[in-house]
Amino acid sequence: MATVDIAHQPARRPGARAWLTVLLLLLFMVINFGDKAVLGLSAKPLMSDLGLSASQYGEISSAFFFLFSASALVVGFIIDRFPTRWVLLVMAVVWSATMLPVALGVGYAGLLVSRIVLGGAEGPAFPVANHAAHKWFPQHERSIASSLVSLGVPLGVIIAAPVETRVIETYGWRTAFVTLAVAGLVWAAVWLVLGREGTVDEAEQVRPGADAEAAPADLAHGAGAAQDPPYWRILLTGTWIGSVLSGFAAYYAVALLVAWVPPYLETSGYSATEMSGLVTLPWMVNGLALLAYGPLARTLGSRGVSGRVVRGVLGGGAVAVGGLAMFLFLHVGHGPVKIAMMSLGFGLGAVVFAVAQATCAELAPPSRRGGVLGLYGALYATAGVIAPYVTGRLVDASATPLDGYVRSFAVAGALLVVGGLAAVVLVDPGRDARRVLGATRPAATVPAESASQ
Sequence-separated (6 or more) residues with CB below 8 Å from residue 71: 119, 120, 121, 123, 124
Q: In sequence order, what are the beta bridge partners of 4?
A: 446
**Torsion sign across C-alpha atoms 239, 245, 249, 255:** positive
Burial class (CB in 10 A: 0-12, 13-18, 19+), 385: buried
pLDDT value at position 151?
85
Alpha carbons 149 and 272: distance in angstroms, whole number: 29
441's enclosing H/E stretch is: none
Residues (pLDDT < 70) of the chain are 1-13, 201-227, 438-453
pLDDT value at position 12?
59
Sequence-separated (6 or more) residues with CB below 8 Å from residue 16: none
Alpha carbons 36 and 376: distance in angstroms, whole number: 20
Sequence-separated (6 or more) residues with CB below 8 Å from residue 224: 6, 203, 205, 441, 442, 444, 445, 446
Cβ atoms < 10 Å from Cβ of 339: 16
Beta strands in 198-330 (DSSP E): none
pLDDT value at position 439?
53
Give the CA distances from residue 161 to residues 164, 168, 176, 287, in Å, rounded to whole numbers and listed in that order: 6, 10, 11, 15
CB 162 within 8 A of CB 277: yes
Going by C-alpha positions, the residue among 206, 238, 215, 251 that lies closest to residue 360 is: 238
3-state class percentages of the chain: helix first, strand second, coil last, to nearest 5: 75, 0, 20
Going by C-alpha positions, the residue among 172, 46, 53 that lies closest to residue 115 is: 46
Strand, helix or coil for residue 3: strand
CB 248 within 8 A of CB 380: yes
Q: What is the number of residues in the chain?
A: 453
Per-position DSSP letters for 134-173, written without gaps between them = HTTS-GGGHHHHHHHHHHHHHHHHHHHHHHHHHHHHHH-H
Domains of the chain in start order, with CATH, are 15-197+205-443 (1.20.1250.20)
Alpha carbons 246 and 424: distance in angstroms, whole number: 9
Alpha carbons 385 and 406: distance in angstroms, whole number: 19
Alpha carbons 373 and 75: distance in angstroms, whole number: 10
Give the CA distances from residue 20 to residues 16, 23, 26, 150, 212, in Å, rounded to whole numbers and listed in that order: 6, 5, 10, 15, 24
Strand, helix or coil for residue 208: coil
What's at 78, amino acid-wise? I
Q: In sequence order, what are the beta bridge partners of 447?
A: 3
How distant is the alpha carbon of residue 171 from its chain centre? Answer: 31
Give the CA distances from residue 66 to residues 112, 174, 243, 411, 426, in Å, rounded to whole numbers and listed in that order: 10, 22, 22, 21, 29
For the chain, count helices (H), then strands (E): 23, 2
